[in-house]
Structure 1
Amino acid sequence: MAISRKPAAVAGLFGLAVAIAGWIIAPSEGNSPVGYADLAGVPTACLGHTGSGVVVGQRYSEAQCQAWFASDVGAAARGVQACIHGPMTSYQWGAFTSTAFNIGVGQFCRSSIAAKANAGDMPGACAAISLYVYAAGQPQPGLIRRRAAERALCEGHT
């Protein structure tokens, strides 16, 4: 079923999209309570949190990790909602949220995924998820697995 753009329907399904995305994000990101530099050299901690507050080598509490995760997934879901203008299923919203969480909302909104979705080509948008498997200029096995899961979710296979 497609998600309605009516505020009450969107508000009711926002949590569902976030939960669906979390099923992919959490196991894909891992959970490191100590800040580290990812493959691209970006300071990262906890469940894939990046930003100016992350210090390589610093330890973060479980509460801080969970707060960042909730905030980051919510921001990704809101970003997807803002840049995809047509209807999407809760699975598509969840898959797009997971992708946006990983590549960044700005990059997602400029991606071929968003362009295809906004052109009404949702099968093409789901297929385009598979293109985003590179880090540090190389395809990464973990990203290949993650994108396969996101694509399957987007296409409605659970």
Structure 2
Amino acid sequence: MSLIKRLGIPVIGGALTIAAATVSHFEGRSNEAYLDPVGIPTICDGHTQGVQLGQTLSNDECDKLLAGDLGDAFDAVDQHVDVVLPPTRRAALASFTYNVGEDALMRSTLLRKLNAGDVVGACNELRRWVYAGGRKLAGLVRRRKAERELCLIGTEQGTLIAGQPAGGGS
């Protein structure tokens, strides 16, 4: 069974629904500010901008931050990707960008490969983005695996990951 199925991440629906489920699953929610694994003050679903330790936010405030941060991630993807993306691939890239930021997306080999038409190569680049603070983090390995699965849906690689025969299956 694929990781995205085991995690209950929906693959039917719009890119926003898919990305929100992916981000929420991997970021988790904390209404109180904390230091992430590399020491960055973080709150809610991975929000870092302007966060101070000791800060507390309501679920409604966290929902608004998530919506805004996801909107920024989608804007970055839409601005820098020159090819048409199916919803699952767009969601995977938005989740990735939410986590690493627009600057990292812009400088990435992933983006260059995607814009050159190498979808499988671009999706496979996600596996390289598993380090934070110079350490390989198990949570990032799992997240990138799920993002890669989402990214590959609709490619021959994607059907093999999902356990269907190459060519689509039923």
Structure 2 distance, partners of 1:91, 1:23, is 12
User: Could you tell me which of 36, 39, 51 is aligned with 1:38?
Assistant: 36
Structure 1 distance, partners of 2:96, 2:36, is 17
Structure 2 distance, partners of 1:84, 1:19, is 20
1:58 aligns with 2:55: yes
Residue 80 of structure 1, CA deviation:
0.4
User: Could you tell me which of 135, 144, 147 is aligned with 2:144?
Assistant: 147
Amino acid at match of 1:60: L
Residue 150 of structure 1, CA deviation:
0.3
Amino acid at match of 1:133: V
Residue 121 of structure 1, CA deviation:
0.7
1:12 alignment partner in structure 2: none
Aligned residues: 143
2:132 alignment partner in structure 1: 135
Structure 2 distance, partners of 1:17, 1:105, is 18
Amino acid at match of 1:142: G
Amino acid at match of 1:95: A
Structure 2 residues without counterparts, runs of 5 or longer: 1-12, 163-170
2:100 alignment partner in structure 1: 103
Structure 2 distance, partners of 1:138, 1:132, is 11
Structure 1 distance, partners of 2:148, 2:138, is 15
Residue 120 of structure 1, CA deviation:
1.1
Amino acid at match of 1:37: L
Over alpha carbons, which structure has the higher Rg?
2
Residue 39 of structure 1, CA deviation:
1.5
Structure 2 distance, partners of 1:123, 1:60, is 40
TM-score, with structure 2 as normaliser: 0.81
1:21 aligns with 2:55: no
1:78 alignment partner in structure 2: 75
- The CA RMSD measured in Å over matched residues stands at 1.3
Structure 2 distance, partners of 1:109, 1:23, is 24
Residue 77 of structure 1, CA deviation:
0.7
Structure 2 distance, partners of 1:94, 1:147, is 12
TM-score, with structure 1 as normaliser: 0.86
Amino acid at match of 1:94: A
Work out whether residues 80 and 109 of structure 1, in 8 Å CA contact, stay in contact via their aligned partners in 2: no
